Amino acid sequence: MAPTKKISLTEEDLVRALKGKETIAIQALYDMYSGALLGVISRIIQQPEVAEDLLQETFIKIWNSADSYDSTKGRLFTWMINLARNLSIDKIRSKDFRNSNKNQDIENNVDFIDSQRKITFNADTLGLRDMVTALKPEFNDVLNMVYFKGYTHVEAAEELNLPLGTVKTRIRMAIMELRKHFN
């Protein structure tokens, strides 16, 4: 998938370079995480052009607010993906965006996007697709709503008509399953 040389840095070096405003940091971040970030953005925002605009916004925000990232609170990617998700949710809830997308069903975003677009399989995770899709749907659906669709876990509970505690449990179970597969 990558004929050109990709930059990959350790988390520590990456954070140091980013905070030092070294342009290599943004290049490394793009090479390492642009696809993963766009994967999340694209499942919240269906239009590819808008999603890519948001990815651009996300990288600019990552670059400009690097000082506010605190490595003691979590990994860099977690911070980045939460930035991307929040920008996407802000966008989808903005008036002008809602007006132009009234009739679209947010429910089937993941399936829709996956059927419309070519999914890049990371070499490390290649072959895991079957395992992931084999996750218990009732657990996985809640996680996907929160992780990929921009729902809060409270909104997900309301949508699925489930107690908040059940939603929390299902998210935890789904992630436990993921950890079993990935770790």
Contact residues toward another protein (CB under 8 A) are 1, 21, 23, 26-27, 30, 33-40, 42-43, 48, 52, 55-56, 59-60, 63, 72-75, 77-78, 81-82, 85-86, 113, 117-122, 124-125, 128-129, 132, 146-148, 152-153, 168-169, 171-172, 175, 178-179, 182-183
The residues, ordered by sequence, that sit 6+ positions from 46 with a Cβ below 8 Å of its Cβ are 101, 104, 109, 112, 113
Structure tokens at 154: 């409270």
Sign, Cα dihedral of 172, 173, 174, 180: positive
Residue number with CB closer to another protein (95 or 118)? 118
- Closest approach, Cβ 126 to another protein, in A, equals 9
- For residue 102, the SS3 value is coil
Structure tokens at 14: 């990456």
- Closest approach, Cβ 93 to another protein, in A, equals 15
Q: Amino acid letter at 93?
A: R
- Closest approach, Cβ 151 to another protein, in A, equals 10
- Closest approach, Cβ 67 to another protein, in A, equals 13
Helix, strand, coil tally for the chain in percent (to 5) = 70, 0, 30
- Closest approach, Cβ 38 to another protein, in A, equals 5
Residue number with CB closer to another protein (39 or 92)? 39
Residue number with CB closer to another protein (49 or 99)? 49
Residue number with CB closer to another protein (99 or 183)? 183
Does residue 33 contact residue 77 with C-beta atoms inside 8 Å? yes
Residue number with CB closer to another protein (33 or 102)? 33
- Closest approach, Cβ 99 to another protein, in A, equals 26
Sign, Cα dihedral of 6, 59, 178, 136: negative
- Report the alpha-carbon distance of residue 147 to residue 159 in Å, rounded: 15
- For residue 127, the SS3 value is coil
Residue number with CB closer to another protein (102 or 172)? 172
